[in-house]
């Protein structure tokens, strides 16, 4: 298995532009998570899906952030409009069940908003 695949690896965009991050979870995993890593807060959960349904989006910082999971093999995280404070590394992770098994993370997308 190729693991959790995220694209792009790096994204540099201008303030005000729309940014879309993509994730392909591990086949057979029924839970998908979007995290943001910052120095101050470490790994913050933004939103997670179970069987393609959003379960908890309380971590989404503002209405500028939205996430979708149209099918079991694809998810997007969109920021519109982007701001410099959104600059961070965004990770997608997937899981096959109870947390006992942990999550498998992708390699992340480093977003820089200038």
Q: What is the binding site for another protein (CB under 8 A)?
A: 4, 33, 35, 39-45, 48, 56, 91, 93, 99-100, 102-108
Q: Which is it for the CA torsion 59, 62, 63, 68, positive or negative?
A: negative
Using the minimum distance from each CB to another protein, give the nearer residue, 81 or 96: 96
Q: Tell me how far, at minimum, the Cβ of 80 lies from another protein, in Å.
A: 25
d(CA 57, CA 49): 9
Please state the closest distance from residue 27 (CB atom) to another protein, in A: 17
Cα distance between residue 88 and residue 20, in whole Å: 14
């Amino acid at each position: 298995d190729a693991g959790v695949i995220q694209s792009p690896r790096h994204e540099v965009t201008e303030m005000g532009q729309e940014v879309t991050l993509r994730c392909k979870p591990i086949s057979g995993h029924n839970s998908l998570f979007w995290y943001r890593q910052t120095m101050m807060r470490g790994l913050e959960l933004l939103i997670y899906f179970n069987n393609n349904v959003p379960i908890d989006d309380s971590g989404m910082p503002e209405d500028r952030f939205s996430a979708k999971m149209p099918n079991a093999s694809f998810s997007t995280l969109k920021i519109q409009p982007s701001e410099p404070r959104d600059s961070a590394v965004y990770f997608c992770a997937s899981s096959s069940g109870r947390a006992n098994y942990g999550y498998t993370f992708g390699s992340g997308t480093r977003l820089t908003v200038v």
